[in-house]
């Protein structure tokens, strides 16, 4: 069976599975629609949480970012996994004990204010809508490459699938669908990594293969990769950082607290019966997440070595007799000249995978020196030796542009793995994007129907009408998210980081202070969230050139790009969170104190029943 047909079969089978599960687990009440009836088993919930949390950014983009950034990509590993630990230890059990459906409902009740609840809804909608753009983009990329349709058609199909199982199934349908999606996405991620690790290092486990020697040589994979990238003018793979030390720290913190503040992940801990189950499901989710996150660094490194080996034969990674990627030990030991005329690949001889990805626009070739060969190197390097070698070889700039988002999806093709593995990766990419999109849409729907309509507009609405409102609001959210995926705003390239920044600067501080401080009042919480949101959006949009005042870009007004202590927009969520905490404390000190019954509520949520009640004998 050819690759195209096999991909249709595999992806079609997974879609049929999702729809069948959604029909079986459709929601019949508001409790089932919002929190799956609160009866999900901890292991099941852990698997669904992992699928909900590991979005297209985790499956498609993260290994690509690590591949491009090297050591600097550790911010994503530390930030996202650290954030989940933070959520599991500091927030989830207490929120579950509070026993509400949604994050805005917790904030509204804790801060005894409809205003605070409404502000939380606004922050949730901004963060979730921003985040969902990236999921729809991932759906479009995967469809356009593997199913031979345009990205626009892919987004329409993705909308239809999510509409069916999210609108009719609610959280109950989403939960059990996400279990299936987790199984698909983790197999799609780990299986190709095992194949590639065996080919390159002979080691079955990618995690160990990353630190192993290349097959048949005494050269370690990372040492070889360092040599290759530095010879071609890129930064050393194992030491290059993500900007300044301060920026890397702030970036990591922003991703951590942003993860802990993501509403579609937090709500998963309301779907289990007891507080102890919330803790257990958090632990299981971390195990399921670790399978992908410990594999990602190996995928990124091996993919980059394979990519360089395809374009530059001097790397010593090429095709064996069976067509799969293998190590050419004689070239590895000789450390061939990267700039030799015959070292670069002829454009007419480029492999089929390059031709296929060129059609998507995510891989582009521009023959700058007219020699018909592909020169792939860092033409902006400050290394004079590399520049001299490139000029002596007649190279006139980098000719190959490779979008980081194709690294995971193209990796099995680059490594010439079997067609069924490539088809599985396509299904995995779609599973990752659709599972998170469904979770985000659920968060948006519950915020609108439960927190705005029932909480503020019509408190006496019947359960039947509230359920209908939830389904309608989710349908509207699907349409809007699809439109944003088709017409992404100019800042879409950083949408995932922006979503984490918004959650970090608004929702996370409000929840933390709500649980661990009895002194933050309603006005302080509302002012803090609005201040955090404004500061973060202002800084991000200033760098993107979104707004102008009398012809002057905001970037100029704040002193230039990354002018605030070298902090990049992606890392600015940490600053927004600091502003949120500070404003909340200051405003709370200047206004009426928290009522006594609210202080008692905070104490009861945080302290187990019977604490301090033991009697000494």
pLDDT digits (tens, 9 = 90+) for 77-108: 888 888 888 888 888 788 878 776 678 888 99
Q: What is the DSSP letter of 55?
A: -
Q: The tokens of 147 are what?
A: 């199913």
Closest alpha carbon to 451 in 12, 36, 105, 85? 105
- Residue corresponding to tokens 């006005």: 523
Cα–Cα distance for residue pair 135/66, rounded to 1 Å: 19
Best-predicted range by mean pLDDT among 69-78, 233-242, 387-396, 571-580? 571-580
Q: What is the DSSP letter of 549?
A: E
Q: What is the mean pLDDT of residues 229-246?
A: 84
- C-alpha distances out from residue 17 to 164, 207, 429, Å: 12, 31, 16
- Tens digit of pLDDT for each residue in 152-175? 888 888 888 877 777 777 778 888
**pLDDT category of residue 564 using cuts at 50, 70 and 90:** low
Q: What are phi and psi of 380, to 5 degrees?
A: -100, 10
Cα–Cα distance for residue pair 300/306, rounded to 1 Å: 10
- Tens digit of pLDDT for each residue in 305-325? 988 888 887 888 877 666 666
The answer to whether the CB of 2 falls within 8 A of the CB of 419 is: yes
Q: Which helix (H) or strand (E) holds 402?
A: strand 400-402
Whether 612 has a pLDDT exceeding 60, the answer reads no
Instruction: Provide the H-helix boundaries in 217-244.
Output: 221-231
Whether 143 has a pLDDT exceeding 50, the answer reads yes
Closest alpha carbon to 548 in 561, 539, 540, 557? 557
44: how many CB neighbours lie within 10 A of its CB?
18
Whether 371 has a pLDDT exceeding 80, the answer reads yes
Confidence at residue 491, expressed as pLDDT on a 0 to 100 scale: 43
Residue 16 exposed, middle or buried by CB count within 10 Å (0-12, 13-18, 19+): exposed
Please give the torsion angle defined by the CA atoms of residues 597, 598, 600 and 601, in that order, rounded to the nearest 10 degrees: 120
Helix (H, G, I), strand (E, B) or coil at 327: strand
Q: The tokens of 112 are what?
A: 């005894």
Selected residue with higher pLDDT from 91 and 518? 518
The architecture in CATH of the region 3-300+417-605 reads Up-down Bundle (1.20)
- Tens digit of pLDDT for each residue in 392-413? 888 999 999 988 878 888 888 8
Q: Which helix (H) or strand (E) holds 318?
A: strand 317-319
Question: CA triplet 406, 409, 413: central angle to 5 degrees?
Answer: 105
Q: The tokens of 168 are what?
A: 């009719």
Cα–Cα distance for residue pair 73/65, rounded to 1 Å: 6
Whether 496 has a pLDDT exceeding 70, the answer reads no
- C-alpha distances out from residue 574 to 124, 379, 545, Å: 17, 34, 21
Confidence at residue 554, expressed as pLDDT on a 0 to 100 scale: 46
Whether 468 has a pLDDT exceeding 80, the answer reads yes
Q: What is the DSSP string of 439-465?
A: HHHHHHHHIIIIIIIIIII-TT--HHH
- With the C-alpha atoms ordered 335, 341, 347, 348, is the resulting torsion angle positive or negative? negative
The answer to whether the CB of 524 falls within 8 A of the CB of 588 is: yes
- Tens digit of pLDDT for each residue in 323-355? 666 777 666 665 568 888 778 889 998 888 888
Maximum distance among all Cα pairs of the chain, rounded to whole angstroms: 91
Q: What is the mean pLDDT of residues 276-302?
A: 89
Q: What is the mean pLDDT of residues 590-604?
A: 91
Helix (H, G, I), strand (E, B) or coil at 415: coil
- C-alpha distances out from residue 487 to 106, 184, 226, 490, Å: 34, 29, 39, 9
Q: What is the DSSP letter of 595?
A: P
Cα–Cα distance for residue pair 311/376, rounded to 1 Å: 7
Cα–Cα distance for residue pair 573/317, rounded to 1 Å: 41
Best-predicted range by mean pLDDT among 55-59, 133-137, 247-251? 247-251
Whether 432 has a pLDDT exceeding 50, the answer reads yes
Cα–Cα distance for residue pair 63/326, rounded to 1 Å: 21
Confidence at residue 368, expressed as pLDDT on a 0 to 100 scale: 92
Give the strand pairing for 373-374 and 325-327.
unpaired
For the chain, the average pLDDT equals 83
Selected residue with higher pLDDT from 611 and 37? 37
Whether 531 has a pLDDT exceeding 50, the answer reads yes
Confidence at residue 321, expressed as pLDDT on a 0 to 100 scale: 63
Q: Which residues contact 336 (CB under 8 A, 6 or more apart)?
A: 313, 314, 315, 316, 343
Mean pLDDT lowest for which of 74-83, 282-291, 315-324, 430-439?
315-324
Cα–Cα distance for residue pair 103/261, rounded to 1 Å: 9
Helix and strand numbers, DSSP H then E, in the chain: 29, 8
The answer to whether the CB of 377 falls within 8 A of the CB of 341 is: no
Phi-psi region of 370 (alpha: psi -120 to 50; beta: other; left: phi over 0): left
Confidence at residue 89, expressed as pLDDT on a 0 to 100 scale: 80
Mean pLDDT lowest for which of 1-5, 218-222, 395-399?
1-5
Q: What are phi and psi of 238, to 5 degrees?
A: -90, 0
Mean pLDDT lowest for which of 9-23, 117-131, 303-317, 476-490?
476-490
Q: What is the DSSP string of 333-400?
A: HHT--TT-TTTBEEGGG--HHHHHHHTTTSEEE--SSSSSEE--S-TT---HHHHHHHHHTT--S--E
Residues in the chain: 617
Whether 493 has a pLDDT exceeding 60, the answer reads no
Helix axes 74-86, 245-260, angle to 10 degrees: 40
Q: The tokens of 444 are what?
A: 């948006």
Confidence at residue 101, expressed as pLDDT on a 0 to 100 scale: 67
The answer to whether the CB of 516 falls within 8 A of the CB of 94 is: no
Cα–Cα distance for residue pair 542/563, rounded to 1 Å: 11
Q: What is the DSSP letter of 519?
A: S
Q: Which residues contact 167 (CB under 8 A, 6 or more apart)?
A: 471, 474, 475, 478
- With the C-alpha atoms ordered 309, 312, 314, 318, is the resulting torsion angle positive or negative? positive
């Amino acid at each position: 069976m050819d690759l195209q047909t096999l991909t249709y079969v595999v992806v079609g089978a997974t879609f049929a599975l999702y729809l069948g599960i959604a029909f079986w687990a459709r929601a019949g009440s508001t409790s089932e629609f919002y929190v799956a009836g609160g009866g999900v088993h901890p292991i099941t919930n852990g698997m669904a949480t992992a699928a909900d949390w590991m979005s297209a950014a985790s499956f498609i983009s993260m290994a690509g970012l690590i591949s491009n950034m090297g050591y600097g990509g550790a911010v994503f590993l530390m930030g996202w996994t650290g954030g989940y630990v933070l959520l599991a230890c500091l927030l989830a059990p207490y929120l579950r004990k509070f026993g509400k459906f949604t994050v805005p409902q917790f904030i509204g009740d804790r801060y005894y204010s409809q205003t605070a609840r409404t502000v939380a809804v606004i922050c949730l909608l901004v963060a979730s809508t921003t985040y969902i753009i990236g999921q729809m983009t991932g759906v479009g990329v995967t469809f356009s490459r593997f199913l031979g349709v345009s990205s626009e058609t892919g987004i329409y199909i993705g909308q239809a699938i999510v509409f069916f199982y999210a609108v009719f199934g609610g959280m109950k349908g989403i939960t059990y669908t996400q279990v299936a999606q987790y199984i698909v996405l983790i197999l799609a991620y780990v299986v190709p990594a095992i194949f590639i690790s065996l080919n390159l290092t002979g080691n079955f486990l990618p995690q160990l293969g990353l630190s192993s020697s290349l097959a048949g040589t005494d050269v370690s994979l990372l040492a070889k990769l360092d040599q290759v990238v530095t010879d071609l003018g890129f930064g050393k793979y194992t030491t290059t950082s993500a900007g300044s030390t301060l920026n890397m720290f702030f970036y990591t913190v922003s991703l951590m607290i942003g993860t802990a503040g993501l509403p579609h992940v937090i709500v998963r801990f309301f779907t289990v019966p007891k507080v102890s189950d919330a803790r257990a499901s958090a632990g299981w989710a971390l195990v399921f997440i670790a399978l992908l996150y410990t594999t990602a660094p190996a995928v990124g490194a091996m993919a980059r070595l394979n990519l360089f080996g395809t374009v530059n034969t001097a790397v010593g990674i090429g095709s064996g007799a069976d067509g799969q990627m293998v190590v050419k030990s004689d070239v590895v030991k000789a450390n061939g000249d990267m700039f030799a005329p015959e070292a670069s690949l002829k454009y007419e001889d480029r492999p089929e995978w390059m031709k296929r990805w060129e059609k998507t626009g995510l891989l582009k070739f521009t023959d700058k020196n007219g020699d018909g060969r592909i020169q792939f190197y860092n033409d902006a390097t400050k290394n004079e030796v590399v520049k001299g070698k490139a000029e002596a070889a007649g190279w006139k700039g980098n000719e190959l542009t490779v979008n980081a988002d194709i690294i995971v999806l193209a990796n099995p093709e680059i490594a010439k793995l079997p067609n069924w593995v490539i088809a599985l990766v396509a299904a995995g990419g779609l599973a990752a994007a659709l599972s998170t999109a469904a979770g985000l849409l659920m968060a948006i729907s519950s915020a609108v129907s439960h927190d705005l309509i029932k909480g503020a507009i019509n408190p006496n609405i019947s359960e039947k009408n509230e359920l209908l409102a939830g389904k309608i609001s989710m349908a509207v959210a699907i349409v809007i998210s699809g439109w944003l995926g088709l017409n992404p705003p100019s800042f879409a390239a950083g949408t995932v980081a922006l979503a984490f920044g918004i959650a970090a600067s608004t929702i996370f501080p409000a929840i933390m202070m709500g649980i661990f401080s009895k002194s933050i009042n309603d006005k302080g919480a509302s002012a803090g969230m609005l201040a955090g949101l404004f500061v973060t959006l202002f800084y991000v949009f200033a760098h993107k050139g979104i707004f102008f005042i009398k012809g002057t870009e905001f970037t100029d007004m704040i002193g230039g790009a990354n002018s605030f202590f070298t902090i990049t927009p992606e890392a600015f969520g940490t600053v927004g969170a600091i502003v949120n905490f500070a404003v909340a404390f200051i405003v709370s000190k200047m206004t009426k104190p928290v009522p006594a019954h609210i202080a008692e509520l905070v104490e009861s949520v945080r302290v187990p029943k019977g604490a301090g009640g033991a009697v000494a004998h």
